[in-house]
Chains A and B, each alone.
Chain A
Amino acid sequence: MAKTTTAPRARAKAKGKTVAMTGNAGCALAMKQINPDVVAAYPITPQTTIVEEFANYVANGQVDTEYVNVESEHSAMSACIGASAAGARVMTTTSSQGLALMWEELSIASAMRLPIVMHNVNRALSGPINIHCDHSDSMGARDMGWVQLFSETAQESYDNTIIAVKVAEKALLPVMVLHDGFITSHAIDRFDVLDDADVQKFVGEYKPKHALLNVDNPETFGPFAMPAFYYEQRKALRVALDAAKDIVLKVSNDYAKISGREYGLFEEYRLADANIAIVVLGSTAGTTKYVIDEAREKGVKVGMLKLRLFRPFPAAEIAAALSHLKAVAVMDRSDSIGALGGPVYLEVKAALYNSKKRPQIQGYVYGLGGRDTGPDQIETVIEDLKKIAGGKEAPREAVTLLGVKE
């Protein structure tokens, strides 16, 4: 069976060093160490400091990257697609409205099977206009054929950025790495980074199988596909994205060998002996662990499943990890308005539907537009779960919006 969990962390190996940096600076450092051929990006809060730091690396001659200044994110992703089709290793980064402006290119990048790596710093979509964290930007892009890797901390974000390059090039798919706006992007965190040489050795030289600049064997990229051909391309994309799950595990395992840091499809925290659990992704997982530790002190058998890979969605593995529980709360930092609840809730619920043994499930939306999600909110979730698990309450069909002022 595929390894799906994060093992207890080994102490960092001798390689690399410990730094104090913001999540965004860590991401820019990872990009510098990867030294991509082309970066085309446009600044947008809270991603801006990534492109600022990376532009410094370019200006100081610390990377060989061709940095393309563009007039919008629409152009940024278009330039990335052109450069990637040409045969370059390409990275970019954005947030919120920037990701929204890339919309039509997102699905073109995946359909053309271009291994572009993009760091999206999660920020609420307008409107009302807001610059703070929620996941509505990247969740809105969940059906665009990109691999999506969520990060809880600056450490995970740095590691995911390096892992994403190899995943993209093995899967021939674009990869989106996510971390939370301001919470992870701008807070200074303590984490371990690798030496430049080790990152270079890990990502290796990119040798594209197909490239526009291969003039000896000219190829057409991105042609028109009439009804006789389009459908087969979409099937091929679905199969490729499903296959990316095993590639994520393989590359993560290879990365663990040089970093000492192990990652699976998701992280299980005190889940094995739990009877209730919380499913969450992003930085709120940290707060959730803290609350779980406190509840455990009082004898509450609560655990957590923190998603790392959201696309492709590891449905079978999640169903297996949750099936022994009595009640599960799924927490979404975005709402799928008009649906039963947030996207993670819908997917987890669907993943469990055909399981013979399955927990009761209740959905929560939290922290939209950067609303703080403190331990008190997660404590109310655990109280709800205790009632459901004890048969005192049935799970609410309507999603609960935590922390909203009524």
Chain B
Amino acid sequence: MKWNIKGVESWGWKKHPIGATIPEAGNAAYYKTGGWRTEKPVIDREKCNNCLICWINCPDSSVIVKDEKFAGFDYDHCKGCGICAKVCALKAIEMQAERGEE
């Protein structure tokens, strides 16, 4: 079923499903995990040849691909693990420290 979770963070206890079940399949994307990150991947488009090794290896499906080309990172879900930077043969991805809210 389609589950409207608008404002879920402020729901009262009666509004949640009994036993904390999630009555909608495949909605993990609603849960943003980007805040866990201490370092973020940054691409150098000059070096990138769109081999998409980063896309294959990303454990969080956070490499966005459009028309078979690298199209950016999904920073809402990227946890900053650095695997993409490690596997990039052209060293086109650099992990940079998150600076928080300066």
Contact = CB atoms under 8 A, between A and B. Distances in A.
B18 A113 contact: yes
Contacts of A220: 21-22, 25
A290 interface: no
A223 B16 contact: no
A197 B5 CA distance: 45
B19 A210 contact: yes
Interface stretch (B7-15, B62-70, B88-96): B7-15
A229 B14 CA distance: 12
Contacts of B13: 232-233, 235-236, 239
Interface in A221-277: 221-223, 225, 228-229, 232-233, 235-236, 239-240
B16 A210 contact: no
B29 interface: no
A81 B19 CA distance: 12
A233 B21 CA distance: 11
B22 A112 contact: no
B12 A232 contact: yes
A354 interface: no
Given A217-B1, A217-B23, A219-B23, A236 B18 contact: yes
Contacts of A218: 25
A51 to B, nearest CB: 28
B19 A111 contact: yes
Interface string A145-175: 0000000000000000000000000001000
A114 interface: yes
Main secondary structure of the interface of B (DSSP, over half): loop
Contacts of A232: 11-13, 16
Main secondary structure of the interface of A (DSSP, over half): loop
A124 B1 CA distance: 48
Contact of A236 (B14, B22, B23, B25): B14
Contact of A210 (B11, B21, B24): B21
Contacts of B20: 111-112, 222-223, 225, 229, 233
Interface in B22-36: 22-25
B82 to A, nearest CB: 23
Nearest to B3: A219
Contacts of B18: 113, 172, 209-210, 236, 240
Contacts of A111: 19-20
B12 A219 contact: no
Contacts of A225: 20
Nearest to B20: A233
B89 to A, nearest CB: 35
Contact of A228 (B9, B22, B25): B9
Contacts of B23: 210, 217, 219
Contact of B19 (A172, A229, A239): A172
B12 A114 contact: no
Nearest to B21: A219
B96 to A, nearest CB: 27
List the 6 shortest-distance A-B pairs measured between CB atoms, nearest first.
Answer: A113-B19, A232-B13, A220-B22, A218-B25, A235-B13, A112-B19
Given A172-B19, A236-B14, 15 more contacts: A113-B18, A113-B19, A210-B19, A210-B21, A210-B23, A217-B1, A217-B23, A220-B22, A221-B19, A223-B20, A232-B12, A232-B16, A233-B13, A233-B20, A236-B16
12 contacts: A111-B19, A111-B20, A210-B21, A219-B23, A219-B24, A222-B20, A223-B22, A225-B20, A229-B16, A233-B20, A236-B14, A236-B18
Interface of A: 111-114, 172, 209-210, 217-223, 225, 228-229, 232-233, 235-236, 239-240
